[in-house]
Amino acid sequence: LLEELQLVRQQYAESQRRERILVRRLANKEQEMQDYVTQISELKSAQAPGPSALKNALLDPAVNLLFQKLKTELVQTRARLEETQNELSAWKFTPDSNTGKRLMAKCRLLYQENEELGKMTSNGRLAKLESDLALQRNIGEELKKTQLDLDEVLMELEEDLEGMQNTIVLMQRELQGANEKIASLERENGELRCKNVNGCEMDVNCGSARTPSRDNCLNNGEADGNDGGQDEGGGGGSNGADTTMDGGENACSKSKKRTYDESDSSEFNTCSKTRRSSLVNQQQEDEESIKVQNFTALTQNGTLSKT
C-alpha cells in the first residue's frame, strides 16, 4: 500500500508539473497572439494612408504618361530581344549541335504525322466520293423513271389536245352555221317588219279615206229614209232605219277585221322576237362553251410546257 501510495503521489506530482508547463505554454501563446494582433492593427493603420499621405502619393499626369511610354518601350525591347536571340540560335544551328539534333528529331516526327494524316484524309475522300457516286447513280435512275412517266403523260395529253382541237373546229363550224341562220332570220324578220309597216300605213290611209264616204253613205241613207218616211209614211221610215243599221254593221265589221289584222301582226312580231332572242341566247351559250374549251386547252398547254 505504501508503494502504491508513493506511486500515486509521484503521478500526481508529475501531472501537476505537466499542468504548469502547459499553463506556461498557453500563457506564451496568448502573449504571442496579442503581439500578432497589435502587429496586424499597426499594419492596417500603416496601410490605410491619411489625406496627407494621399496628397503626397499623387503623381503629375506628365510623369504618369512617361511611365506608360517606358512600359510600352520595355515590352517592345523584350520582344526584340527574344527575336534576336532566336535569330542568333538559328545562325548557330548545326546538325552536330544538341539543338540541331533535337530539331531534326522533331522534324522527322512532324513529317511522319503529316504522312499519316494525308493517308487518313485520302481514305476518307475516297469513301466520300464512292458514296456520292452511288447517290448520283440512284438519283439518275429515279430521274429516268420520272422522265418515262412524264413522256407517257405528255403522249396522253397530246392525244387529248388533238381531240379537243377537233371538237373546237366542229364547234366553230356549228357556230358559223348558227350565225348564218341568225343573219338569215334577221333578214326575214326585217322584211316582215317592213311589210307589216307598209300594210299598216295602207290600212290607215284606207280607213281615213273610207270614214267620210261612210259618213256620207250613212247621211245619205238617213236622208233617203227620212224622205221615204215623209213620202210613204210609217213603212218608208222603217226601211230608212234598216239601211242605217246595215251601214253601221258594215262599219263595225270592218273595224273588227282591222283589229284582228293588227293583233295577228303583233303576235307574229312577238313570235319572231322570241325566236330571235332564243337564237341569240343559244349563240351566246355556244360562244361561252367555246371560250371555256379554249381556256381549258390553253391551261393544258401551259401545264405541258411547265412539265
Q: Hey, where are the domains in the chain? A: 179-306
Check if the beta carbon of residue 157 is closer than 8 Å to that of residue 304: yes
Alpha-carbon span 93 to 100, nearest angstrom: 6
pTM for the model stands at 0.26
State the pLDDT at residue 274.
Answer: 60
Q: What is the rounded distance in angstroms from the CA atom of residue 203 to the CA atom of residue 261?
A: 10
Q: Report residue 284 as a C-alpha cell.
A: 351566246
Per residue in 211-226, pLDDT tens?
Answer: 444 444 444 444 444 4
How do residues 90-126 score in pLDDT, each as one tens digit?
Answer: 666 666 667 777 777 888 888 888 888 888 777 777 7
Residue 305 corresponds to which cell in the numbers above?
Answer: 410546257
Residues 73 and 82: their CA atoms lie apart, in Å, by 14
Rounded mean pLDDT, 187-203: 74
Nearest-5° angle of CA 163, CA 164, CA 165?
90
**Per-residue pLDDT for 1 more than 90?**
no
Residue with cell 501510495: 5
* Sign of the torsion formed by the C-alpha atoms of 179, 183, 184 and 185: positive
Span 65-83, mean pLDDT? Answer: 93
Q: Which residue has the higher pLDDT, 82 or 277?
A: 82
Whether residue 209 is predicted with pLDDT greater than 90 in this model: the reply is no
Q: Return the pLDDT at 270.
A: 54
Average pLDDT value for the chain: 72
Range in 149-163, 229-243, 252-266, 279-293 the model is least confident about: 229-243
Segment 209-218 long-range contacts (CB within 8 Å, at least 24 positions apart): 210/254, 214/247, 214/251, 217/247, 218/244, 218/247, 218/248
